[in-house]
Amino acid sequence: MSPFSMITLALSKGRIFEETLPLLAAAGIEVTEDPEKSRKLILSTNRPDVRVVLVRATDVPTYVQHGGADIGVAGKDTLIEHSGSNGDHDGLYQPLDLNIAKCRMSVAVRADFDYATAVKQGSRIRVATKYTTIASEHFANKGVHVDLIKLYGSMELAPLIGVADAIVDLVSTGNTLKANHLVEVEEIMQISSRLVVNQASLKLKREAIRQLIQAFESAIPA
């Protein structure tokens, strides 16, 4: 098959993969391998001209930007951390909010921490997070000085052992915070996943990509 007729879709395992499957089905695409049962990184579909590559969630924008994939699905959090809050940068086009993998980006603290006093204009707060762009912008808008502590996981631990006053993290059910005696004190933004498209692919494979976008759009959950 000519490389100009193959469409490569970048997805991350887990929630984004699972919640993208119904959208693919609407486009007549069925992934024929189960990523939980195989270690393969390139999955075939029922369509010879469509394949799925599995990458880390934070790498989806990078693969699409560099043309390793024509399209991908990435969380709003990941996209902001990748290219800033203005979005469409560097060969990445974001045509659709897919309304999947929904959650919120929030600030959480220990129950005994006085957040209202800590975020008075001109004050200083220590924040542990993986989402440094979102966190620094949020506190800058409030006029609060922030000492950011970049972590890659288990953020909940940082306030418990005195490394940070607060965390900025994704919250879905709130169970993780509750289990660690943290309370959500502020929602920064609602998060969902978006379709991202490589701008060169959009030109070179216009018709195939237009059809995919249309099919996805028709199947976006309410």
Question: CB count, 10 Å around CB of 108?
Answer: 24
Helices and strands (DSSP H and E) totals, the chain:
9, 9
Show contacts with ligand AMP in window 147-176 (CB under 6 A): 169-176
Largest CA distance in the chain: 62
Tell me whether residue 165 or residue 169 sits nearer to ligand AMP (CB atom).
169
Tell me whether residue 172 or residue 214 sits nearer to ligand AMP (CB atom).
172
**Using CB under 6 A as the criterion, what x/- string covers residues 11-30 for binding ligand AMP?**
----x---------------
**Using CB under 6 A as the criterion, what x/- string covers residues 105-144 for binding ligand AMP?**
----------------------------------------
Identify the H or E element spanning 24: helix 15-26
96 contacts ligand AMP (rule: CB under 6 A): no
Q: How far is the CB of 154 from ligand AMP (least distance, A)?
A: 8
Tell me whether residue 79 or residue 209 sits nearer to ligand AMP (CB atom).
79
CB of 149 closer than 8 Å to CB of 158: yes
61 contacts ligand AMP (rule: CB under 6 A): no
User: What ranges in 44-123 are assigned the alpha helix state H?
Assistant: 60-65, 76-83, 115-118
Among 75, 131, 196, 209, binds ligand AMP (CB under 6 A): 75
Residue 181 CA, distance from chain mean position: 26
User: Phi and psi dihedrals of 43, rounded to 5?
Assistant: -110, 140
Q: How far apart are CA 57 and CA 75, in angstroms?
A: 8
Among 101, 134, 158, 212, binds ligand AMP (CB under 6 A): 101
Q: How far is the CB of 35 from ligand AMP (least distance, A)?
A: 16
Q: How far apart are CA 93 and CA 71, in angstroms?
A: 9
Question: What token pair was written down for 222?
Answer: 């309410």
What would you report as the CA-atom Rg of the chain, rounded to the nearest whole angstrom? Answer: 19
Tell me whether residue 161 or residue 179 sits nearer to ligand AMP (CB atom).
179
Tell me whether residue 163 or residue 170 sits nearer to ligand AMP (CB atom).
170
Residues that bind ligand AMP (rule: CB under 6 A) add up to a total of 12
Q: How far apart are CA 16 and CA 59, in angstroms?
A: 13
Tell me whether residue 56 or residue 206 sits nearer to ligand AMP (CB atom).
56
Which residues bind to ligand AMP, rule: CB under 6 A?
15, 75, 101, 103, 169-176
